[in-house]
Structure 1
Amino acid sequence: MDHEEIPSMPSTPATTPGTPGAPLFGGFDGKRSGHNGRYTPKSLLKSCKCFSVDNEWALEDGRLPLVSCALPPPNVSLYRKLGAEFVGTLILIFAGTATAIVNQKTDGAVTLIGCAASAGLAVMIVILSTGHISGAHLNPAVTISFAALKHFPWKHVPVYIGAQVLASVCAAFALKAVFEPTMSGGVTVPTVTLSQAFALEFIISFNLMFVVTAVATDTRAVS
């Protein structure tokens, strides 16, 4: 039988992007070994997990089975996770609110699409930059949702929410210092009744949590 090159296949993640310390697009859990908890070539080989991902049709066709290998995620300290969560939330709040303030100061030159694009790009950049460290929750609702679905430890929820709230307050004072007077740009002031505002916030938050938890916790979403 001719030897064929064995291509690599994406593995089914055992952890999720919402879990701090996990790779951004999934990976396998593993334990560190070696000096001071650092990975060594020998410990990497021991912690590397390989398994066949092909089916019996490959053997019948005379092909070698496909094999997938994955290394465990790095062990990130809680302080690094909180620092990454703080910086990510600070960037998101500052960028999103600053765009709304500039839009008001320039009489709508940025436009509504520009404000939405700015916030979306800020979220994407923060997730790609800090997602592998803290999970890039950026929102207490996301943190609580992950904890409720058992993808995040409850004992870390209070400190995560504290980092998010502190980052939001710091971003607000930074905006006040830069854009004084800020007028009403970026301030959430409902123009409808309280019941209508609550209903809209509930629906929008539900859609956000549905998408985030579905994409981050379903292993088939990243394959």
Structure 2
Amino acid sequence: MATKIDGIEEAEISKMEEGVATNKGNGDRWSSASVVSISQKLIAEVIGTYFIIFAGCGAVVVNKIYGSVTFPGICVTWGLVVMVMIYTVGHISGAHFNPAVTITLAIFRRFPWWQVPLYIVAELMGSIIASGTLSLMFDVTPKAYFGTLPVGSNGQSLVAEIIISFLLMFVISGVATDSRAVCILNTPPLINI
């Protein structure tokens, strides 16, 4: 006789773990485990990276040309598009969207090393396609360069980039790799209204 856990037989659990859909026969209960292929993960990374670069850099371009977005608007755009893409494709690819994140997760053994080059290529593809789209949409001349220019020397800029990248990876690795990290969405409200 098969063992039952919460009304599900052990054989059915094994099928669910393998990604095979099962039906209890009465038509109202289907169980399946989602199996995501590497190609689906890579497509999700391309799409997520595309929209992050398209929306974030697009906000910078629109602000530079028309002056209507403002600095806080650009910041909000970047934050919201990252959040939306994490919610949209995070369950498929892990929502890295950045080679530094992919490498950091591999270093912490939360991501397989063999997928790192594939993810990096997907992330670069998404960003290049988004940049190309913005270039086609807006008349960008060399005089209207929208990038940031170093304020100090090249060495100072490199140090600043290292510190900022370290901070980003420190936060991501702390939140994404430590099971003790507090998730604000799962905590009860402090005040009951």
Instruction: Structure 2 unaligned segments of length 5 or more: list them.
Output: 1-12, 25-30, 187-193
Instruction: Structure 1 unaligned segments of length 5 or more: list them.
Output: 1-30, 43-70
**1:204 paired to 2:151:** no
Q: Indicate conservation of the 8 Å contact 2:102/2:116, yes or no.
A: yes
Within 1, Cα distance between the matches of 2:19 and 2:33? Answer: 13
CA 1:73–1:173 in 2, change beyond 3 Å: closer, same or farther? Answer: same
**1:96 paired to 2:56:** yes
**1:184 paired to 2:145:** yes
Q: Indicate conservation of the 8 Å contact 1:86/1:167, yes or no.
A: yes
Q: Shift in Å at residue 77 of structure 1?
A: 0.4
Letter in 2 for 1:39: A
Within 2, Cα distance between the matches of 1:114 and 1:173? Answer: 23
The one of 112, 124, 149 equivalent to 1:165 is 124
Structure 2 partner of 1:39: 21
Within 2, Cα distance between the matches of 1:156 and 1:72? Answer: 25
The CA deviation string for residues 2-40 of structure 1, in whole angstroms up to 9 with x for no partner, is: xxxxxxxxxxxxxxxxxxxxxxxxxxxxx8627x94221
CA 1:74–1:97 in 2, change beyond 3 Å: closer, same or farther? Answer: same
SS in 2 for 1:219: coil
Q: Shift in Å at residue 147 of structure 1?
A: 0.5
Within 1, Cα distance between the matches of 2:33 and 2:15? Answer: 13
**1:119 paired to 2:78:** yes
The one of the two structures with greater contact order (alpha-carbon pairs below 8 A, sep at least 6) is 1
CA 1:95–1:145 in 2, change beyond 3 Å: closer, same or farther? Answer: same
Structure 1 partner of 2:8: none
What TM-score do you get using the length of structure 1 for normalisation?
A: 0.67
Paired-residue identity, %: 43
Within 2, Cα distance between the matches of 1:81 and 1:32? Answer: 24
CA 1:169–1:33 in 2, change beyond 3 Å: closer, same or farther? Answer: same
The CA deviation string for residues 191-213 of structure 1, in whole angstroms up to 9 with x for no partner, is: 32111211111111111001101
Within 1, Cα distance between the matches of 2:32 and 2:95? Answer: 19
Within 1, Cα distance between the matches of 2:58 and 2:101? Answer: 23
Alignment RMSD (CA, Å): 2.1
SS in 2 for 1:220: coil
Structure 1 partner of 2:87: 128
Within 1, Cα distance between the matches of 2:32 and 2:108? Answer: 22
Q: Which structure has greater helix proportion?
A: 2
Within 1, Cα distance between the matches of 2:56 and 2:140? Answer: 17
Within 2, Cα distance between the matches of 1:73 and 1:119? Answer: 33
May I ask how many residue pairs the two structures share in their alignment? 162
Structure 1 partner of 2:112: 153
Q: Shift in Å at residue 41 of structure 1?
A: 4.5
